[in-house]
Amino acid sequence: MAALQTGDARLTEVVDDFLLILKGFIRNHQISHEEYRRAVSFMVETATKGEIPLLLDVFLEATVDQVDATGRGGTETSVEGPFYAANAPLMKSPCVLPHRAHEPGDLLLLSGTIRSVEGEPLSGAMLDMWQSDAEGAYSHFNIPEHQAPWNLRARVVSDANGRFEVQSWVPSPYQVPKDGPTGALLSGIGRHAWRPAHLHLRITHDACQALTTQLFFTGDPWIDSDVVGAVKQSLIVTLTKHEDSADLQKRGFDKPYYTINYDFTLPRLMCKAA
Ligand code: BEZ
Ligand code: FE
């Protein structure tokens, strides 16, 4: 853990306010000793089962995202969530995400251009992409023995014109893990655990502010009730289906595929030229 500075003013301000709010909450709700002990046990169990990131990301990260993104400009941000893994395989666009020999689901071609907010194409931008598979599972986290290492994860470098083209598979909606304390809490307060299908993207470039975001799909049954509350209108895209047999043959696909073209814009870092 990073060392805390003695007398850190920001830390003092936020911890003092946090405690004030919690103490007010305890008074307002007349929290009993028994309820307090149950809350302590819940936190211990959440930590023991490695669910602290999941719990906080489900209930709080979308609010942090709203606050932190205020006045930012460029493509809208969304939450990172607990399923990011650093150092995914590095690939040059165009490329195919690492996948299993018989990856289930529909083929997806995601393409677009990465630009600064002033409209300049960003060559050499890094698009770090991760997603669930067509059965709602993430490599590294869910049933890892059923997944190739780095399945459906890569860091893709944009070309000289800021363009990228990645072949992947259409993800499906999934439920955040329900077998632990986070799931028990959701069910205890009568909430479902579904997220609409989405692609996770984190885009970086030397001259710009990093962008962490997600893309969602029109018509998804959970688009209006994401358990995490991370959907933004500008991030909902329409999947276009392609089934022309000559085109499929030319591409070497044995079934229809879907495309999304989405351009990303990144705000510049202050005082840095591209
Ligand atoms: C996700 O998108 O992977 C996610 C985000 C927040 C909480 C749980 C999952
Ligand atoms: Fe996700």
Q: Tens place of pLDDT for every residue, the chain, 274 residues?
A: 677 778 899 999 999 999 999 999 999 999 999 999 999 999 999 999 999 999 999 999 999 999 999 999 999 999 999 999 999 999 999 999 999 989 999 999 999 999 999 999 999 999 999 999 999 999 987 665 566 789 999 999 999 999 999 999 999 999 999 999 999 999 999 999 999 999 999 999 999 999 999 999 999 999 999 999 999 999 999 999 999 999 999 999 999 999 999 999 999 997 545 5
Residue nearest to atom 4 of ligand 1 (CA): 81
pTM for the model: 0.94
Query: Is 57's C-beta closer than 6 angstroms to any atom of ligand 1?
Result: yes
C-beta separation of 176 from 183 below 8 A: yes
Interatomic CA distance for residues 172 and 192, integer angstroms: 16
The C-alpha angle with vertex 100 and arms to 97 and 102, in degrees rounded to 5, equals 120
| Interatomic CA distance for residues 170 and 158, integer angstroms | 21
User: How many Å apart are CA 213 and CA 81, to the nearest integer?
Assistant: 10
For residue 132, the CA-to-ligand 2 centroid distance in Å is 6
User: For position 6, what pLDDT does the model report?
Assistant: 83
- Say how many residues make up the chain: 274
Q: What are phi and psi of 42, to 5 degrees?
A: -60, -45
Nearest CA-CA partner of 264 in 94, 109, 161, 114:
114
Write the residue with the smallest CA distance to atom 6 of ligand 1: 81
Q: Is 153 in the pocket of ligand 1 (CB under 6 A)?
A: no
With tokens 């409209």, the residue in question is: 119
Non-local (6+) Cβ contacts of 250 within 8 A are none
Residues near ion ligand 2 (Cβ under 5 Å): 81
Q: Which atom of ligand 1 is nearest to the CA of 195?
A: 2
pLDDT of the residue at 69: 92
3-state secondary structure of 25: helix
- Sequence-separated (6 or more) residues with CB below 8 Å from residue 148: 98, 99, 100, 139
- What residues contact 128, with CB distance under 8 A and at least 6 apart? 88, 154, 155, 156, 201, 202, 203, 204
DSSP state of 208: B
What are the structure tokens assigned to 55, written together? 């719990």
Residue 114: strand pairing partners: 264
Q: Are 137 and 110 in contact (CB under 8 A)?
A: no
Q: Are strands 95-96 and 163-169 parallel, antiparallel or unpaired?
A: parallel
* Residue 5: predicted pLDDT: 77
